[in-house]
Each structure stands twice: as C-alpha cells, then as structure tokens.
Structure 1
Amino acid sequence: MTKALSGRQAQAARNDEVILAAARAVFIADPGAPISAVAERAGVGISALYRRYASKEELLRRLCSDGLARYIEESEKTLADNREPWLAFGAFLHSLVDADTNSLTQRLAGTFTPTPDLWRDAARAAELNQAIYARTKEYLRPGIVVEDFGVILEQITSIKLGDEARTNQLRHRYLTLMLEAMHRPGERPGGGSELPGPPPSSDELTDRWRA
C-alpha cells in the first residue's frame, strides 16, 4: 500500500506539478525563454523554483525525461494490445497526440545536453518503435519506414488553432487523414474512419493574423 504523503510533501508535489506544467507551456512556446518566465507563469518565486531545479538545463531534462517516460508507457501498452495491429497502431498515434510528447521533441531538441539516463530511455523508445513498426509493417504502404512516425507526429503537433481543446480536435482530425494515407492500398480494418470534429473555418484561419 502506498504511504500517504504528509501535508507538506503533498503541497511540494502539487507545486512541482505546477512548475512542470508552466515550464512545458513556456518552453514549447519559446525554448529560449528565461527560467524566470516559468516562475512567473507558475506563480512561484524564483528562489522556490531554484530549490527544485538548479538550472534551466535541469528543468529541460526533467521535461524531456517525463515525455520519454510517457512515450515508453504508451508504446508498451500498444505492444500489449490484443486488437488487430492496425487498430492498435492508430490508437497508439492518437494517444501520443493527446500526450503531446512530440511538441517537446520538436521544440527542445538540441537545447540541452542529455544525460546517460535520457540516452538510455531514448534507446528503449527506439527499440519499442521498431517492435511496433514490425508488427504494423504489413499494413503500411510501401516505402514507409519507422523514422517516418516521429516526423509525421511532429507535423501533426505543429497544428495550433483556437484554444487547447480546438487544437487537440484538429490534430486528431488530421492524424485520421494521415493514417488513411499511411495504410497500404486496399481494404482497411474497421473501414474508413470518421474525421473527428469539423474542419477549420475561414474565421478560425483568419483569426491567427489578428494582433
């Protein structure tokens, strides 16, 4: 049975979650932002932030470590999924869109020095990718390789339109279209997938240009 956290420990854990959420938002928007911007967004003093993370680089490593851990978790769940492999693969990519791990890859790559632990987790993620690819390969159109998965997800997670909920809806819409394009020509398991949500309106597209 997991021991309950004391009041002080629970508060520290909540503060850490707030700091990490703030750091993720700040650094995905601008990897060059100062660590003080994280403290401001989180509503904590800079000294409180430094007590948890001694430097911006340490904070970036933590974000990427958490992202890799989530990616590995979703990959392992996919390999344990007993459904038809193409359906499991589609669910895997949709779960990664919800987790938004590729936004971290896209924005933070090259901004800090990875630790041996991060390299180890990255190697594990690559190993799982290969296993998922091997399981799904017969359903993929010729020419698609495992390295395409990450780039496709980076394209999907570059979509930002409206608020967070609308952005997520549109990402799932275009991932569904991308999955249709990735499948080998012929009948698809489960038939054609209904596209999530309505397409972007002209007003939504225009709003991006308003100051």
Structure 2
Amino acid sequence: MRADARRNREQILRAAREVFVGEGPDAPLDEIARRAGVGIATLYRRFPQRADLFRGVANEVLTALTDAAREALAAEGDPVEALRRFMHRALDLKIGSVMPSLLGRVSLDEILDGAGGDAVDPIDELLLRAQAAGQIRPDVVFGDITMMIMRLSRPLPGGGQFPDDDALAHRHLDVYVDGLRPSGSPRPTTMLSGPAVDAPAFKRLRERVLDDARADD
C-alpha cells in the first residue's frame, strides 16, 4: 500500500472510531469522511461496505491494544509504570465504547482473526511482573486491569456536556493504579493530570446538564 493510501486508511479508521463512540455504528459515513479529511469516494474505495469499516475499526483497536501491551512489556524500568503507561494508551483507544457498539455488527471470531495477535498474555505478564516486584497487591487479577480500562473508556452520560471527559478518565486511571499498590507500600507520588472536579465544579456541571434537559422538554 502506498504511503498516502495507508495514511488515508489510518485517518478513516481513527475518525470512524471517534464517530462510532459519539454517534453509534449507524452514523453517517459522510461525517466519518469529513473528520478523516478525505472524500466519500476514498472511504468507499477502502471500505466498500459498512461491515468492512466495522471490521477495520475493530481489528485496528485490538491490534493497537496488543502492540501497546507488547511495547510496555519490552520496556525497561519500573514495572508499575510500564503497566500504567499501557493502561493510559489503552484508554485512548476507547475500547470500552468502540467494541460493545460493534459486537453484533461483526462477529467476535472475525475481530480476533483480523487482530495482530492476542493482548491477553502480554497484559497478564505486565501485571504478574509488577506483582513479582512487590509493587501491586497479590489479589489483583487480569480482569481488574482490563475491566477498569473498559469502564473508564466509556463516556460520561450527557454526551458532549463535559468536554474534558477524556482527560478526567486519565486522572481517574492514575488514582486507580496507585490504589493497586500493596499495604505498607510508599505513598504514591503520581501527579494527577486532567481536571479536578471539586464540589463547586460538579454543581456547575450538574446545572448545565439540567438546563439542557429543561430546554429539550
């Protein structure tokens, strides 16, 4: 594939992922092409059927997830920080929003067959390595890592009411990872990123949501 064709494909898949998260898998393809910065004809050349686009997005997300886990596993240094970096990268893939929306539109077998490997083993190895170093409590298991990524990668209710949703999810992920440390471990020194939604900020956000709900009635 030529460099420009590969770039178009990547842009289409990235845009489709964002649109599917925000508007669902039945969103207009014109909107995906617009966000990708390509013409609708280019989109159809790459993905003649909507099902082809579904498979492409699902395969790209799982392949990127596997690559991120393998890269974190190969990295030198603190095993907890390697796990943290992987989880932040996985969060950006919005897997908890993308994959549920596509299941039923494309089979799990098709998704797994088209992905570049299986992420389960490298993710589990990241966890086991951190536990072997005494930096993660021993009762934490694989699902505690992956299920939290899926929960945090789902948008907050209210759609676009909170534009800092992604940044807030990364903040909460850092809180969660620090909470995985065993009893008696040194106090975490992670600097929390993202917006700090204190009580006044929460009240303002709540009022905004209520105002919009009243306007729709």
TM-score, length of structure 2 as denominator length: 0.76
Report the equivalent of 2:205: 204
Matched, 1:22 2:15: yes
Q: Unaligned regions of 5+ residues in structure 2, if any?
A: none
- Aligned residue type for 2:53: L
Equivalent residue in structure 2 for 1:179, among 177, 180, 191: 177
Matched, 1:38 2:29: yes
Matched, 1:162 2:162: yes
Report the equivalent of 1:56: 50
Aligned residues: 199
Change (3 A) 1:181 1:109: farther
Counterpart contact for 2:21–2:98, Cα < 8 Å = yes
1:76-119 Cα shifts (integer Å, max 9, x gaps): 11111211211221222122223434432343334312455724
Counterpart contact for 2:55–2:110, Cα < 8 Å = no
Counterpart contact for 1:57–1:112, Cα < 8 Å = yes
Matched, 1:192 2:185: no
Cα distance in 1 for partners of 2:181, 2:8 equals 44
- Aligned residue type for 2:135: Y
Cα distance in 2 for partners of 1:64, 1:140 equals 31
Equivalent residue in structure 2 for 1:152, among 148, 166, 189: 148
Q: 5 Å matches for 1:62-73?
A: 62-73=56-67
Aligned residue for 1:192, secondary structure, equals coil
Cα distance, 1:21 vs. partner?
3.1
Cα distance in 1 for partners of 2:127, 2:10 equals 33
Q: Unaligned regions of 5+ residues in structure 1, if any?
A: none
Report the equivalent of 2:85: 91
Change (3 A) 1:22 1:177: same
- Aligned residue type for 2:24: P
Cα distance in 2 for partners of 1:32, 1:168 equals 20
Change (3 A) 1:167 1:117: closer
TM-score, length of structure 1 as denominator length: 0.78
Cα distance, 1:204 vs. partner?
2.8
Backbone CA RMSD of aligned residues: 2.9
